[in-house]
Amino acid sequence: MPARIDIVEGDITSLPVDAIVNAANEALAPGGGVCGAIHRKAGPELAAACASSAAAPPARPRCAGFRLPARHVIHAVGPVWGGGERGEGKLLADCYRNALNLAAETGLKSIAFPAISTGIYGFPADRAAFIAARTVRETLRQRPGIERVVFCCFGRESYELHEAALAATAPQD
């Protein structure tokens, strides 16, 4: 059965899924935005787990969820928007693809994404939603173990952009 792709509007830290994806920074340190919200709700154990995985080569970007309803947190470092000529689109696609691949390789079935890079990192939200929708659809075709992907949108505008992006990338019958 093909995976379900849902869009929800709200706070990703309330979702009881196998993994939520964190829009992280390279140091995997608690920051602002969705990252700050995830760390606050997970508790200090998440920052401690991040510190030890950031220090251990190769970095292991999957942690337990601790006090979150999600079982795991997958850290993805999105690109900082610099005008679009610095490979930002490919880097953003890599975030979605790598997170889904990691989830599939470790047997996770449901995963929720925030709109990576579209806050503090300044990636245009409409382009980002399209890249997210296209990359998730492409990757799911190769990853039958994943049953549900959630785009967790913070606000109505983001919800509508993801709705439009999913419609624009829907497979033709």
What's the min distance (Å) between Cβ of 38 and ligand AR6?
A: 7
Instruction: Locate 41 and state its tokens.
Output: 């709700």
Spell out, one character per residue from 36 to 75, where the chain touches ligand AR6: x when CB under 6 A holds, - when not: -x--------------------------------------
In angstroms, the Cα distances linking 116 to 63, 107, 172 are: 18, 23, 27
Report the alpha-carbon distance of residue 20 to residue 32 in Å, rounded: 17
Report the alpha-carbon distance of residue 131 to residue 22 in Å, rounded: 17
Contact between residue 125 and residue 86 where contact means Cβ atoms under 8 Å apart: no
Contacts with ligand AR6 by CB under 6 A: the residue count is: 24
Spell out, one character per residue from 107 to 146, where the chain touches ligand AR6: x when CB under 6 A holds, - when not: -------xxxxxxxx-------------------------
Q: Count CB atoms within 10 A of the CB of residue 55.
A: 9
Tell me which of 11, 94, 138, 160 binds ligand AR6, using CB under 6 A. Answer: 11
Provide φ and ψ at 146, rounded to 5°. -85, 130
Residue type, 107: G
Tell me which of 140, 152, 161, 166 binds ligand AR6, using CB under 6 A. Answer: 152
The stretch near ligand AR6 (CB under 6 A) out of 23-31, 60-68, 84-92, 137-145 is 23-31
Residues that bind ligand AR6 (CB under 6 A): 11-13, 23-25, 31-35, 37, 78, 114-121, 152, 154, 158
